[in-house]
A and B are shown apart, each in its own frame.
Chain A
């Protein structure tokens, strides 16, 4: 089972003001907030952690049938942050493994319940208007839209 999440970094800049009072506190654990405040690029760290949570939640939601808005209960840790970012997200007794790509204008994370298959997942990212096709017929394992991007994983 797969999950994925794409963040249009240009849109995120105007759509969300994470510097707003109490914003970080509502969604990130103390450890995650420390990662953000100590980061050289806090904007990137906010959306990296957020996309890890979102992609892991997509698997958790399908697996358990639980629908909730509890971003703080999805706890992220980052294992390597050179080039591609590998990490994991824990919620209750579930662990999801993540791989993220950080580009100038977007950030993408794919999550899997098995650490071994992260490397074999294929990722397709389309930019508007090329995303207007019948992607459902390609049977993606997870779909994510944000701003001008569509991300599919198989």
Chain B
């Protein structure tokens, strides 16, 4: 059952947030907001990430999770919650293939 075994390797929400934290860290100087990162964290308002670096984060996510982020998904990726949901969705779609 290759599909099932792949599904078991899917990351849960907490694991995705943890991986996301490692990705965004180099682009933010807001140490307190980084330490307290959770679903409600906003990349621009809380982590003060430069919008040109938001592109780097999208590319880092694509590389790390081996997924492709389309333009419509990217449009929503301004906070941890939306980004985590999109990553989980893409991972699931890939596992189901």
Cα distance A15–B50 in the bound complex, in angstroms: 9
Contact between chains at B74 and A70 (CB < 8 Å): yes
Contact with A along B73-95 (1 / 0, CB 8 A): 01111100000000000000000
Contact between chains at A27 and B55 (CB < 8 Å): yes
Interface residue B71 (Cβ < 8 Å from any Cβ of A) = yes
Q: Interface stretch among A16-24, A82-90, A126-134? A: A16-24
Interface residue B15 (Cβ < 8 Å from any Cβ of A) = no
Interface residue A67 (Cβ < 8 Å from any Cβ of B) = yes
Interface residue A94 (Cβ < 8 Å from any Cβ of B) = no
Residues of B in contact with A (beta carbons under 8 Å apart): 50-56, 58-59, 62, 71, 74-78
Closest residue of A by beta carbon distance from B57: A69
Contact between chains at A22 and B51 (CB < 8 Å): no
Cα distance A53–B50 in the bound complex, in angstroms: 14
Closest residue of B by beta carbon distance from A47: B52
Contact between chains at A69 and B50 (CB < 8 Å): no
Cα distance A76–B53 in the bound complex, in angstroms: 20
Interface residue A50 (Cβ < 8 Å from any Cβ of B) = yes
Interface residue A79 (Cβ < 8 Å from any Cβ of B) = no
Contact between chains at B52 and A12 (CB < 8 Å): yes
Within 8 A of B (CB), among A1-51: 12, 15-18, 20-23, 26-27, 50
Contact between chains at A69 and B77 (CB < 8 Å): yes
Contact between chains at A16 and B58 (CB < 8 Å): no
Contact between chains at B53 and A69 (CB < 8 Å): no
Interface residue A117 (Cβ < 8 Å from any Cβ of B) = no
* Distance in Å: Cβ of A22 to nearest Cβ of chain B: 6
